[in-house]
């Protein structure tokens, strides 16, 4: 750690952060002043002494990670990045919350140098940080402390600790003993509606102690106390750390200790705050001495990075280490995937979840970055990596992660693994529980993180478990998320294509919807190739001219469409069957290809065991959708096709009606 700045210099740095905050919020006529004013001393201590970082190389692999989970306090982070020497300029601060600015209302990963995760929805940042801390331990177990030896720091709010997802994640972190994770808890006793006592009266410290965390309590405005707590956390690695920092929200402003500090203070209050700070400089003006407080630690970070680069060169002189490092820190190479994908032609009927398990097993041998697990359903989801250990406390060499019944945290932790780098994470559960994961999935899509979600038991054909476990609206729900691809393969061969597409994708997440029940293996040539386009002609009509009807199916319903088409074809009708394993991928194809697959002049019957929303964009006047309009029922799956008119005979009746 760097030498502590003098008390006078640290105080000046804290005042500078507060002045920059009120200047930026006034200039934008928008923003949150409360947390930056209240946590300035915390930020100064962390960024001037403890954070291992190099602003000149924000992506240095062995840097410490800092996550502002309380993203509404973004001006604290932007001020710290600016003062430390990141590429966040004075003009960027002036552009706070403006269009195309590097300083949006909440921190956005990939937009602002030094921002490790997109935060704002409370509880998500701290959950991502758990994933980052786990990634550090797992990589260190593979490469040793010479290459991987850093920490994860979080600044969280009362709201973060209220959100259930943070409890899930922090329970998991305590279970694994992630001792390089430190959470600074800004306990100011105020939320937007008023004092936290309106709804929050538990002893959070005792809760975290029960999770297995080391807990400290300090005055957040006392630099020496904060420094001492951070030092204790730095020197102890047997369990994660919670440092409860008692602060005054809006410190130094007329709105101090009130819920008004959660929003924008007016011009008069801004002037009063600057006066209370003794601040007479022009807006956004920064004293050189304040920059100096942070630049010493930044210079130390540059030296640490240079030393690390030397260690990396020595370590990577070993060809086996170099190959593994390269494989885990670059996108998955096509040759690593294609050569290892299983050939499932002629394999007989197989549930697509089981086909997915076969693909995972085959890929794991050639893609060492592939790690994952499920929310207490590894057997049902077929997510286990054979011949690999389970990640346990003190034993992080494994690739199988047991998340417990914590779907929401699982998804956020997976994003943290991806954000950290070095891993391609996949996580699994029943598809109906994707609802529990949706906020984290949405943020993964925003952050363009290549997380893979393995959702099994994908339809009403779950059967006897009944409507509580039978997804019907979930395809539409997931298809509504921009930059998320949903694959619902119809057989094992399309499942192979889905996995290939997922591993090749680097700029966003992918979700699989996989069957519980066995499905026949498709016999057509080129399924694995054609399915990569998201939609393709599986069965062509005979004769000249456009087809009289196009049957479009996804997942298990594709086989019902094939059954109906075979009957109609035997009667001399020109009927085409189109498989649509991934709507988003199909819509990304060029218009000519889409017209070739779905001729504009031909009526369409789209079949899927879900609600119409989502696939409705394929329908035109006169087209039909055959699916679910309500929830399912508890019964053997084979009886549900008849009950809800999703079998081949029901599709045939609808097709005949459309053909007249």
Backbone angles phi, psi at 40, to 5 degrees: -60, -45
In the predicted structure, residue 336 carries a pLDDT above the cut 90:
no
pLDDT of residue 330: 92
Q: Which residue in 407, 541, 548, 584 is the catalytic one?
A: 407
Rounded percentage of the chain residues whose pLDDT exceeds 90: 96
In the predicted structure, residue 380 carries a pLDDT above the cut 80:
yes
In the predicted structure, residue 1 carries a pLDDT above the cut 80:
no
* 577 DSSP β-pair partners: 539, 551
pLDDT of residue 377: 97
pLDDT of residue 175: 98
- State the Cα–Cα distance between residues 557 and 93, nearest whole angstrom: 54
* Residue 335: exposure state from Cβ atoms within 10 A (0-12, 13-18, ≥19): exposed
3-state secondary structure 552-584: EECCCHHHHHHHHHHHHHHCCCCEEEEECCCHH
Angle between helices 407-420 and 164-176 (to 10 degrees): 70
SS3 335: helix
pLDDT of residue 543: 78
What residue ranges define each of the domains in the chain, with the CATH number in brackets?
Answer: 10-306 (3.40.50.970), 334-514 (3.40.50.970), 532-659 (3.40.50.920)
What pLDDT digit, counting tens, does each position of 274-307 carry?
999 999 999 999 999 999 999 999 999 999 999 9
SS3 544: coil
Region 329-338 average pLDDT: 87
Nearest to 484 by CA among 502, 458, 504, 459: 502
pLDDT of residue 576: 98
Which is it for the CA torsion 104, 110, 114, 118, positive or negative? positive
Cβ neighbours, 10 Å, residue 289: 14
pLDDT of residue 114: 98
Region 482-487 average pLDDT: 98
Region 270-277 average pLDDT: 97
- State the Cα–Cα distance between residues 364 and 297, nearest whole angstrom: 40
Region 205-212 average pLDDT: 98
Q: CB under 8 Å to 101, separation ≥6 — which residues?
A: 92, 95
Angle between helices 204-211 and 164-176 (to 10 degrees): 40
Instruction: Judge whether 36 and 79 are in contact, CB under 8 Å.
Output: yes
DSSP symbol at 473: S
Instruction: Judge whether 262 and 249 are in contact, CB under 8 Å.
Output: yes
Nearest to 80 by CA among 41, 106, 118: 41
Region 157-168 average pLDDT: 98
Mean predicted lDDT score pLDDT of the chain:
97
Which of the residue ranges 166-170, 330-334, 480-484, 493-497 would you say has the lowest mean pLDDT?
330-334
Structure tokens at 442: 């949405």
Nearest to 212 by CA among 236, 240, 245: 240
In the predicted structure, residue 335 carries a pLDDT above the cut 90:
no
407 catalytic residue (yes or no): yes
Q: How confident is the model at residue 561 (pLDDT cuts 50, 70, 90)?
A: very high
pLDDT of residue 545: 87
Place of tokens 């294609």: 338
Rounded percentage of the chain residues whose pLDDT exceeds 70: 100
- State the Cα–Cα distance between residues 386 and 328, nearest whole angstrom: 19
- State the Cα–Cα distance between residues 333 and 631, nearest whole angstrom: 42
Largest CA distance in the chain: 91
Characterize the bridge pairing of strands 214-219 and 485-487. unpaired
Q: Can you say how many angstroms the Cα of residue 63 is from the centroid of all Cα atoms in its chain?
A: 21
Region 253-275 average pLDDT: 95
Place of tokens 């950290």: 420
pLDDT of residue 357: 98
What pLDDT digit, counting tens, does each position of 140-154 carry?
999 999 999 999 999
Q: What angle do CA 144, 146, 147 make, to 5 degrees?
A: 80
SS3 372: strand
Cβ neighbours, 10 Å, residue 529: 12
Region 549-574 average pLDDT: 97
Helix (H) / strand (E) containing 154: strand 152-157
Helix boundaries (H) for 163-245: 164-176, 204-211, 223-235
What number of H helices and E strands is found in the chain? 26, 18
Instruction: Judge whether 124 and 76 are in contact, CB under 8 Å.
Output: no
C-alpha dist (Å) from residue 46 to 217, 339, 542, 606, 651 = 16, 47, 71, 57, 64
Instruction: Judge whether 481 and 456 are in contact, CB under 8 Å.
Output: no
Nearest to 180 by CA among 394, 332, 437: 394
Place of tokens 């197989």: 350
Nearest to 452 by CA among 385, 391, 492, 501: 501
Question: How many residues are recorded in the chain?
Answer: 660
pLDDT of residue 334: 81
Structure tokens at 178: 């992630």
pLDDT of residue 310: 98
In the predicted structure, residue 456 carries a pLDDT above the cut 90:
yes
Q: How confident is the model at residue 76 (pLDDT cuts 50, 70, 90)?
A: very high
What pLDDT digit, counting tens, does each position of 80-125 carry?
999 999 999 999 999 999 999 999 999 999 999 999 999 999 999 9
pLDDT of residue 544: 81
């Amino acid at each position: 750690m760097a030498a502590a700045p003098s008390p006078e210099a640290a105080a000046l740095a804290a005042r500078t952060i507060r002045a920059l905050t009120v200047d930026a919020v006034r200039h934008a006529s928008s923003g949150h002043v409360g947390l930056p004013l209240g946590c300035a001393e915390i930020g100064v201590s962390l960024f001037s002494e403890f954070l291992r970082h190099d602003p000149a190389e924000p992506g240095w692999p062995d840097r410490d990670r800092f996550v502002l989970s309380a993203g509404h306090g973004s001006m604290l982070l932007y001020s710290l990045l600016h003062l430390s020497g990141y590429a966040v300029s004075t003009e960027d601060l002036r552009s706070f919350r403006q269009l195309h600015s590097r300083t949006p209302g909440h921190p956005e990963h990939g937009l602002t140098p030094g921002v490790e995760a997109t935060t704002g929805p409370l509880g998500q940042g701290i959950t991502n940080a758990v994933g980052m801390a786990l990634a550090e331990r797992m990589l260190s177990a593979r490469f040793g402390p010479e290459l991987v030896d850093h920490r994860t720091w979080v600044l969280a709010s009362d709201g973060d600790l209220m959100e259930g997802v943070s409890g899930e994640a922090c329970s998991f972190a305590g279970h694994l003993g992630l001792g390089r994770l430190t959470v600074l808890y800004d306990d100011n006793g105020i939320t937007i509606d008023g004092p936290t006592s309106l709804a929050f009266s538990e002893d959070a410290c005792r809760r975290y102690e029960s999770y297995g965390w080391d807990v400290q309590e300090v005055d957040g405005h006392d630099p020496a106390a904060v420094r001492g707590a951070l030092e204790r956390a730095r020197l102890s690695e047997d369990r994660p750390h919670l440092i409860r920092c008692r602060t005054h929200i809006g410190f130094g402003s007329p709105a101090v200790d009130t819920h008004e500090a959660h929003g924008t203070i007016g011009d008069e209050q801004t002037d009063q705050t600057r006066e209370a700070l003794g601040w007479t400089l022009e807006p956004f003006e920064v004293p050189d001495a304040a920059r100096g407080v942070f630049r010493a630690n930044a210079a130390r970070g540059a030296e640490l990075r240079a030393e690390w680069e030397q260690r990396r060169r020595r370590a990577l002189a070993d060809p086996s280490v170099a190959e593994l490092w390269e494989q885990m820190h670059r996108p998955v190479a096509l040759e690593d995937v294609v050569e290892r994908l299983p050939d499932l032609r002629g394999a007989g009927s197989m549930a697509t979840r089981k086909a997915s398990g076969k693909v995972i097993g085959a890929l794991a041998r050639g893609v060492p970055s592939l790690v994952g697990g499920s929310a207490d359903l590894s057997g049902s989801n077929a997510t286990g990596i054979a011949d690999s250990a389970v990640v346990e406390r003190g034993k992080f060499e494994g690739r199988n992660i047991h998340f417990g019944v914590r779907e929401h945290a699982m998804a956020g932790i997976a994003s943290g693994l991806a954000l950290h780098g070095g891993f391609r994470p996949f996580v699994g559960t029943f598809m109906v529980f994707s609802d529990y994961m949706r906020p984290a999935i949405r943020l993964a899509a925003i952050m363009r993180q290549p997380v893979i979600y393995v959702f099994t038991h994908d339809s009403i054909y779950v059967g006897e478990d009944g409507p509580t476990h039978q997804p019907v609206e979930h395809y539409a729900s997931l298809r509504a998320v921009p930059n998320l691809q949903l694959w619902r393969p119809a057989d094992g061969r399309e499942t192979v294509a889905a996995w290939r597409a997922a591993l090749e994708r680097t700029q966003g997440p992918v979700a699989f919807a996989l069957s519980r029940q066995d499905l026949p293996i498709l016999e057509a040539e080129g399924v694995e190739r054609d399915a990569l386009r998201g939609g393709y002609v599986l069965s062509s009509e005979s004769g000249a001219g456009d087809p009289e009807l196009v049957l479009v199916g996804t997942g298990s319903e594709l086989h019902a469409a094939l059954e109906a088409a075979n009957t109609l074809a035997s009667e001399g009708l020109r009927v085409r069957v189109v498989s649509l394993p991934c709507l988003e991928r199909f819509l990304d194809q060029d218009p000519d290809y889409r017209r070739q697959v779905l001729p504009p002049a031909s009526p369409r019957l789209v079949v899927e065991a879900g609600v119409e929303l989502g696939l409705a964009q394929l329908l035109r006047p006169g087209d039909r959708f055959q699916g679910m309009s309500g929830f399912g029922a508890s019964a053997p799956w084979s009886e549900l096709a008849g009950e809800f008119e999703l079998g081949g005979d029901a599709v045939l009746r609808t097709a005949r009606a459309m053909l007249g």
